[in-house]
Structure 1
Amino acid sequence: MCVATAESFPALVLNADFRPLSYFPLSLWGWQDAIKAVFLERVNIVSEYDREVHSPSFAMRLPSVISLKEYVHLDRRPAFTRFNVFLRDRFRCQYCGDCYRSEDLTFDHVLPRSRGGRTTWQNVVTACQDCNLEKGSKLLRECGMTLMTEPEPPSTFRLQENGRGFPPGFLHESWSDFLYWDSELEA
């Protein structure tokens, strides 16, 4: 059987504690990388698809969930990136409060760079293009705008929790025990 693309059968990657490495973007590996990690004995197979891949002398079901054998510590500080600013702010303009897709967002310096503001977690917020244009290089009190929340450096845990609020379009049923999106809890 020939599997057309890596996206066809992604494997959910769990840390050694059986929690996803990340929620947003969801920690997924293409089937080729998952099989390579299995052969290199870096992961355990937790669940499999019904589909197989074959070589002349070998057949293997494609992994749908894998767990790392060695725990990856996630307690380091998140990288200061545009995407992580959007994720920290939950893809919500910090001025008008509306939610947007990432390609419709920008970031704004609360204290404008033209007035000595720096590009730091504490001075950068998510903004829609209209609010960013309206604020321009003015201070908040000069333009009558207010912030939804004060900007601060997020923890990796906070970004993970925020990411859980944005499930991807495709979720294989074998992943549900590990992701907790729309899971009904027992009474």
Structure 2
Amino acid sequence: MADSYPALVLNADFRPLSYFPLSLWSWQDTIKAVFLDRVNILANYEHKVHSPSFEMQLPSVISLKEYVHLDRRPAFTRFNVFLRDRFGCQYCGDRGRTEDLTFDHVIPRSRGGRTTWDNIVTACQGCNLVKGNRLPREAGMFPANAPRQPSTWQLQENGRAFPPNFLHESWSDFLYWDSELES
């Protein structure tokens, strides 16, 4: 039951450590961090945990007391390529299921292309198969966005567009506090 009470983790500047996946800690890790005085509690669930001599509301939002510097150069991973490309095929624009996505070497490896940020794009399986071992001009298939290395900030911004399945009401003020307000 208490497993369904994760805490949103914010950096010391009150921004989420990450948006996608959203930075969440289990209630056990959160309680431990509270007792070790590593976090500030910003909001609580109504649910409480207790021992024979202690009772505490479970934190729903916490902030770290020490700022964690986010790596300015994100790791080159399949997930981060998909996130950079917003989980959409760069050839046809399809935003199908994640399981149907693959990545494509814009310049094929057989033609000297490397597996780097600057040569990999997200592709659906169909487009990847059609493009095959050809250069974009030979296949008549050009990526919608030129592949490039994103910053951590760019990945964070892209991640904001994909909220998780569970968002507690106490989190909304902290997830989108820097978004432009509607007039």
Q: Do these two structures clear the TM 0.5 threshold for a shared fold by scoring above it?
A: yes
Residues in 2 aligned to 1:114 and 1:44: alpha-carbon distance in whole angstroms: 53
> Is 1:159–2:133 an aligned residue pair?
no
Report the CA distance between 1:101 and its aligned residue.
2.8
Distance 1:167 1:117, change over 3 A: same
Is the counterpart of residue 18 in structure 1 residue 14 in structure 2?
A: yes
Q: Deviations over 1:22-48 (max 9, x none)?
A: 000011111111111111111010000
1:145 aligns with 2:141: yes
| 1:70 alignment partner in structure 2 | 66
Where in structure 2 are there 5+ consecutive unaligned residues?
Answer: none
Cα RMSD (Å): 1.5
Separation (CA, whole Å) in 2 of partners of 1:170 and 1:74: 24
Q: Secondary structure at the match of 2:148?
A: coil
Q: Distance in 2 between matches of 1:94 and 1:123?
A: 12
Q: Which residue of 2 aligns with 1:126?
A: 122
Helix, strand or coil for the counterpart of 1:45? strand
> Structure 1: any 5+ residue segments left out of the alignment?
none
Contact 2:48/2:58 (<8 A) preserved? yes
In the superposition, the TM-score normalised over structure 2's length comes to: 0.95
Question: Match of 2:34?
Answer: 38
> Deviation at 1:100?
2.3
Per-residue CA deviations over 1:72-91 (Å, capped at 9, x if unaligned) read 11142100000000000000
Contact 2:2 2:27 in 1 (8 A): no
Instruction: Give the distance between the partners of 1:25 and 1:100, measured in 2 at CA.
Output: 19
Q: Deviations over 1:82-113 (max 9, x none)?
A: 00000000001000011123222000000111
Q: How does 1:76-155 map to 2 (within 5 A)?
A: 76-155=72-151
User: CA 1:186/1:145 → structure 2, altered by over 3 Å: closer, same or farther?
Assistant: closer
Residues in 2 aligned to 1:150 and 1:112: alpha-carbon distance in whole angstroms: 15
Letter in 1 for 2:65: K
**Residue of 53, 61, 64 corresponding to 2:57:** 61
State the Cα distance separating 1:186 from its structure 2 match: 6.1
Task: Specify which of 159, 169, 173 is matched with residue 173 of structure 1.
Answer: 169
State the percentage of identical aligned residues.
79
TM-score (norm 1): 0.93
| Count of aligned pairs | 182
